[in-house]
Structure 1
C-alpha cells in the first residue's frame, strides 16, 4: 500500500479555490484523489496507464 501522507499532491491551476481531483506520483505509481475528501482511498495507476490517460486527454478522447 502506498503511504499517501508522503505524497506531494497537486491540482490544476484551473481549479482555483474549487474542489478538484489531485494527482501525486509516489515511487512507480500515479495517485488520484478527490480534493474535497482527501482521507478517502486514492486510485493508483501504473506509468503505462497514466501515459495512456494523458495521451487520451491530449487527443480529445474525453470531450463530450
Structure 2
C-alpha cells in the first residue's frame, strides 16, 4: 500500500497540469475535442480497487517519458 501511495504521489507531481474539470460525458467530450490537432490525449479511467488499472500505471509513465522525448 505504501508503494502504491508513493507511486500515485510521484505520478501526480510528475504529470503536467491539465484543466479537466467537466463532470458530464458531453462536457468531457467537448473538452477533449478542444485539444484536437494540438496534442495527444490519453484518457485513462481507473479505480483504486482495480488491480489491472493500478498495474498499468508504470506503462503509462513510460509512455509519457517516451512521447516527451
Asked if Structure 1 and Structure 2 have the same fold, meaning a TM-score greater than 0.5 normalized by the shorter chain, the answer is: no
- Higher share in strand: 1
Higher relative contact order (CA 8 A, sep 6+): 1
> TM-score when scaled to structure 2?
0.30
